Chain A
């Protein structure tokens, strides 16, 4: 089936600490995994993505890891800052037909960075 599970649903960390959000997916053909950040009342925006041919990708304080065998991927935010507070969504590409894909989103994680 088409399913992306995301944990935890809420996460509170002290400023400067690290935050980790985990997602699992069900479709073994999934090959693209974006992460979106959504601030209150705003549109989701892509912050980082990873393709299935790599195991890890970093962009400054943000990193994503992928374990295709276990079908899970994680978002890591280091040295968290108050402006990191938002809802984060993972997503996985699901093949519709040959050459066409759709994105299934996780349920979201509300991250609060406490000053």
Chain B
């Protein structure tokens, strides 16, 4: 089966600019996750969707980050305005459903560099 698709793979922007990332999960997967992975750290959950509803966004910096999954399929994550500390790899993952014990399949990630 096709994996989780993300674009772009790399992005370099100046601070205070805006940026958007796109994710297409595995077909039929109801749950979609956005993680931020800063170099040398573990993935940190930013937001989790079940279909088109938000399950958890407690770690999302809502003053600058936003995400949507309008039709319950693909999703976009936006940062506006970006800060230097937003430099990280943004990983999208999906799983068939949301019960504990379901594998999360990760995309290749988008490496963001803010200069």
Residues of A within 8 A of B (CB): 4, 6, 30-32, 34, 36, 42-46, 49, 51, 89, 93, 95-97, 99-108
Contact = CB atoms under 8 A, between A and B. Distances in A.
A90 B58 CA distance: 21
Nearest to A9: B40
B106 A44 contact: yes
Specify the main secondary structure of chain A where it touches its partner. Answer: strand
B104 A103 contact: yes
Given A105-B42, A107-B42, A32 B104 contact: no
B75 interface: no
Interface of B: 33, 35, 40-45, 48, 50, 55-56, 91, 98-101, 103-109
Contacts of B107: 43
A35 B63 CA distance: 32
B48 A105 contact: no
Contact of B43 (A46, A100, A101, A105): A105
A107 B41 contact: yes
A108 B106 contact: no
A85 B64 CA distance: 37
Contact of B109 (A36, A43, A93): A43
A42 B91 CA distance: 11
B100 A32 contact: yes
22 contacts: A31-B101, A32-B101, A44-B91, A45-B106, A49-B103, A89-B42, A89-B43, A99-B98, A99-B99, A100-B56, A100-B98, A101-B99, A101-B100, A103-B45, A104-B45, A105-B35, A105-B42, A105-B43, A105-B44, A105-B45, A106-B42, A107-B41
Nearest to B4: A43
A97 to B, nearest CB: 8
Contacts of B99: 99, 101
